[in-house]
Amino acid sequence: MDLPEGLDWVRASPAGRAWLTTLPTWLAECTERWSLRLGPPFRYAYASLALPADLPDGTAAVLKLQYPDEDSRHEADALAHWDGDGAIRLLAHDPERRALLVERCQPGTPLHELPMDRALDAVTVLLPRLWRPAGAPFTPLAEEAAGWIDRMPRNWERAGRPYERRLLDATLALLTDLTSSQGEQVLVNQDLHAGNVLAADREPWLAIDPKPLTGEREFSIVPMVRGRELGHSPAAVRHRLDRLSAELGLDRERARGWTIGHTLAWSIADDVVFTHQIEVVRWLLDEG
């Protein structure tokens, strides 16, 4: 298959190679089941094989075959819960194949094409629409954070201690405190960065590719605060934290704590260390 470069990492593990062997069959089966006319894969896809698709009635869609990770397990449930309000619509779902048929954003321009403050203007309008009360089947943020607390020391050791012990200790303390003192639980998205908000003809901006949890609202701005898409510097990160916290009525210190916790938890994946994530943690821990 003509796989996008973004999926090269999948070949490094037995599970990834096993998934790749199933893709041609699943792709053919989904194409036949939904009577799709497919285009070439999107080259930027990282956690799924995603292809533009046209339905028999001319509807423009995207077919996604997800890599079977836990973070995106309930993507279809989140899209169904939002039902097109602030996010792309789910058109069909095949849980066995981890296949989703979703609305295609056109023109599909990513939010990070805007200057940072104009992008943040859009985020402050979009996010409150996504804060819907939710329960099962979504994983609670408290449960997810408990897993980060458990795994982070082992991952740090296994990766050769790629950052200072003080970052690990401070982050574990923050997560422990935040987890037990949350506010109202709503649907939040671990991956709502400026590359996962696209311009559409139905609405100015729609969220795509959610990795959903249920947790307090302060957690929901974490990907926008830390993401490199709108600028990677201490000033840019703090500006996003300040603006989004103030304009969305969020507790800045809790949002800062969640950003530190989630960013360090996601700074090591298998044998890969994401140094830009570690930089964000340093910048926010050292601001006070």
Does residue 191 carry a catalytic annotation? yes
Alpha carbon distance 149, 79 (integer Å): 28
- The dihedral built from the CA positions of residue 231, 234, 235 and 239, taken in this order, carries a sign that is positive
pLDDT of 215 reads 98
Interacting residues of 229 by C-beta distance below 8 A, sequence separation 6+:
110, 111, 112, 193, 194, 195
- Catalytic one of 54, 77, 191, 286: 191
pTM: 0.94
**34 burial level (CB within 10 Å; 0-12, 13-18, 19+):** middle
pLDDT of 288 reads 61
DSSP string covering 136-157: TBSPBHHHHHHHHHHHHHHHHH
Distance (Å) of CA 172 to CA 152, 153, 179, 261: 8, 9, 11, 7
**186: enclosing H helix or E strand:** strand 186-189
**pLDDT string in tens for the chain (288-residue length):** 678 888 888 887 888 889 999 999 999 999 999 999 999 998 877 789 999 999 999 999 999 999 988 888 999 999 999 999 999 999 999 999 999 999 999 999 999 999 999 999 999 999 999 999 999 999 999 999 999 999 999 999 999 999 999 999 999 999 999 999 999 999 999 999 999 999 999 999 999 999 999 999 999 999 999 999 999 999 999 999 999 999 999 999 999 999 999 999 999 987 789 999 999 999 999 986
